Structure 1
């Protein structure tokens, strides 16, 4: 059928109009309309996909506050984390064609995996305010591609009252031998202290030991540098035996069976209820403890995992916010505006400190307002420079949980030896670098 010039022009105009009303990129957000109630501005929708379940409600409240102040912006928040592997679910979401406009990456390896859909962040107040060193993991060729969530630290959270009753000084637990002696003391006093066990080792949560335990013992090998870990073709596990002893200690003195213990049982059912004296976790666990047992939360402290005779607190940026380069330009700008609001506006900073309970990764915060004792201690270690790096963010994709974590589970269940677990992990690293 022959199409007239008028018909062709009409069809072309229609296509252009429809295209302008939709999303020309691959991400899920959109720009449409003339703004609220016929105004002159555009209405922007941002699809945001984030990993931190611990502050889900508080974060959604901040989003609602931002939407109220910016009525032409709608932010759809989806939170996936906790017992789920955020990285794997993000890849599935992308594969389904529902790409978020804002999502999270952990560092250089995640950037490498997603670099084709990550936009550079320019003219950002949050980038300008980020503390020295916090942008290194997301800076490529002098261009910044993400903004940090916060600073976090992890180690052994302990009940101060239980330690005091047992006559244990946490400041003296600076070697693995010191820690073992304290564990033996607590184990011998379980009935007197009202404990079910010394530890709650969450064997079901591979990220706890696949990311954090391994990172503490691999950090010296990579000079505390996530970039050095990312650039390394091999991993030697120079402190393999000490790592084995540390995991064995937790497993043997833990509430059983460890392979069915999850994060909720570890933090909420056992530690918060004073059924165990210690757990390996970070300051992100504080809100969960406080919600169940405020007195226990206030009476908690945190010590570093002793490694190679040193006692350094592992402190790092857990994740970065990044913007999808496939989103409309206006959606990208709206995404950066929201991130700037969260971390640099007076209202946002108040929420970050007092509702999120974050250790800020940005300048111009009143750090005296850091409200919980775990974050206070971690911040003090940071101020003193007595910290180690989060090198797990530089591991090859799939190494921490699917490989090392899975091998540790097999070791705990007796299916493989420790030597096999280490050899399997070394081989995976080399094959995937």
Structure 2
């Protein structure tokens, strides 16, 4: 993987203007010149009046709807929508579904009900497949040439760019540096044995090592990605799993990954099975736990609780060298079946090119931009992303990708459900991996 510094985003404004015109039809024949002139004058007056009314008639207000799942930016996105309406007169309605909700299922229900938001958010690779026929080609938009190249492939089909990558995100184990110091941990663990030893030191210091959550997406997507992304060739490995020529149950690296999960589950809070995402992050931000398996996307939520929290991102130990994981979490997709796709494109262009839009992206959203023409805001992205940037520059070979979107929709939800069972000690490790294999087999067969 090439070395990368913190990325930046660009955008150029596009406003839609419309005008009205009217044509006078003053024709008519008469042998009486006076009557003809009067009639012509009356017709002209009527037409002029109609023209004036048409010109002065207020333009029909336009509302575009955004259906999205990043709960972390919901408040800032609403403020950005207000700023856009103030500048352009176009109203942007935001509907957010995330956290514990199944966004994919809710979006499909929305579309099945005949609702067609102008902009939807979608992951890439196989996760984008259900929406390809709705996606407007954005290849020629002003920001498209400035995309970070690694963000492009996951949302492209047949050479066409079908979405705007929203941001670059990264995760490993976000940790509280002050709590590590309090427990006497001076070197970050590089192996599972060292991670287990670090957890023991934290416990002895009266500190709970891990903030856990019951959220299926955290368990079935981010946690399980660690096993898949560290394969020698993740794409080929997942293809073989889908083809049935390999299984998770017989894979040595996946079995080793189970030990990582066991360490995390054994060293988390007692109420993990009833802890949702918001509570997990809030309690971590309050200093109750030493580590959390989330990335830079939680920075804004943490800052609301304690902006002075001394955080860093450490790589996740597994086989060989420990790793961090990066990718595009979501893409803005313009829906060609909606009422106002051109206005939707104009909104995205404004977001990416106007000074107001760029400020929201880089500062209010706290994004690591996926478009190089928007400078990242070092103060906004915070300590977690800064640690990732430093690590990725120094150890590019230890930066792995996000692989979950290579599975067809519905599989990661089943991965998460199986992980919840395992967290609750209702199944054993071999049953967990067996459920993973069955989830893939059942959906691929369809």
Q: Could you say whether these structures have the same fold, taking a TM-score greater than 0.5 normalized by the shorter chain as the test?
A: yes
Gaps of 5+ in 1: 1-30
Q: Secondary structure at the match of 2:365?
A: coil
Bigger mean CA offset, 210-219 vs 92-101:
92-101
Aligned to 1:149: 166
Q: Note the C-alpha offset of 1:67.
A: 1.4
Q: Is the 8 A contact 1:233 1:429 kept in 2?
A: no
Contact 1:33 1:43 in 2 (8 A): no
* Stretch of structure 1 that moved more, 405-414 or 212-221: 405-414
Contact 1:224-1:390 within 8 A present in 2 as well: no
The number of residues matched between the two structures is: 387
Cα displacement string for residues 250-297 of structure 1 (whole angstroms, at most 9, x for unaligned residues)? 2111111321111122111x212222111111111111111112222x
Structure 1 residues 82 and 230: CA distance shift in structure 2, 3 A: farther
- Kept in 1, the 8 Å contact 2:216–2:417? The answer is yes
TM-score, length basis structure 1: 0.83
Per-residue CA deviations over 1:187-229 (Å, capped at 9, x if unaligned) read 1111xxxx3x221211x2111111001111111337355x974
- Mapped partners of 2:219, 2:353: distance in 1: 34
Asked if the contact 2:172/2:323 (under 8 Å) is kept, the reply is no
| Alpha-carbon displacement from aligned partner over 1:376-430 (angstroms, at most 9, x marks no partner) | 12233444534100001212211112x1111112222232221112112112213
**Alignment deviations for residues 324-344 of structure 1 (CA, whole Å, 9 cap, x no partner):** 12124xx21221121122123
- Structure 1 residues 58-137: aligned runs within 5 Å: 58-71=76-89, 73-137=90-154
Aligned equivalents of 2:161 and 2:204: distance in 1?
Answer: 53
Match of 2:301 in 1: 288
The residue that corresponds to 2:183 in the other structure is 166
Matched, 1:334 2:343: yes
Which residue is equivalent to 1:24? none
Q: Secondary structure at the residue paired with 1:295?
A: coil
* Structure 2 unaligned blocks of 5 or more: 1-16, 21-53
What is the aligned counterpart of 2:193 among 177, 194, 197? 177
Greater radius of gyration (CA): 2
Query: RMSD across aligned C-alpha pairs, in angstroms?
Result: 2.5
Structure 1: distance between partners of 2:91 and 2:443 = 40
Residue 316 (structure 1) aligns with: 327
Which of residues 365, 373, 383 is equivalent to 1:373? 383
Report how far residue 41 of structure 1 moved.
Answer: 6.5
Please give the alpha-carbon distance, in whole angstroms, between the structure 2 residues aligned to 1:37 and 1:79: 38
Separation in 2 of the partners of 1:373 and 1:340?
29
Distance in 1, matches of 2:328 and 2:415, equals 21
Distance in 2 (alpha carbons) for counterparts of 1:370 and 1:310: 30
Q: Kindly indicate whether residue 433 of structure 2 is the aligned counterpart of residue 422 of structure 1.
A: yes
Q: Which moved more, 1:287-296 or 1:365-374?
A: 365-374
Q: Is the 8 A contact 1:215 1:392 kept in 2?
A: yes
SS of equivalent residue, structure 2 residue 212: coil
- The match for 1:245 among 259, 266, 271 is 259
Assess if the C-alpha contact under 8 Å between 2:367 and 2:376 holds in 1: no
Question: Normalized against structure 2, the TM-score is what?
Answer: 0.81
Kindly provide the CA deviation profile for residues 101-122 of structure 1, in whole angstroms up to 9, marking residues without a partner as x: 1001111212212223222224
In structure 1, the residue matched to 2:412 is 400
Distance between the aligned counterparts of 1:337 and 1:382, measured in 2?
Answer: 34
- For residue 47 of structure 1, the aligned residue among 65, 73, 79 is 65
Question: Residues of 2 paired with 1:63 and 1:379: CA distance?
Answer: 30
C-alpha contact (below 8 Å) 2:182/2:205 kept by paired residues: no
The question of whether the paired residues in 1 share the 8 Å contact of 2:132 and 2:162 is answered with no
Q: Distance in 2 between matches of 1:156 and 1:57?
A: 26
**Residues 413 and 37 of structure 1, relative CA distance in 2, 3 Å threshold:** farther
Deviations along 1:3-37, one digit per CA (max 9) or x if unpaired, are xxxxxxxxxxxxxxxxxxxxxxxxxxxx9997x99
- CA distance 1:382–1:42, change in 2 (3 Å): farther
**1:278 matches 2:291:** yes
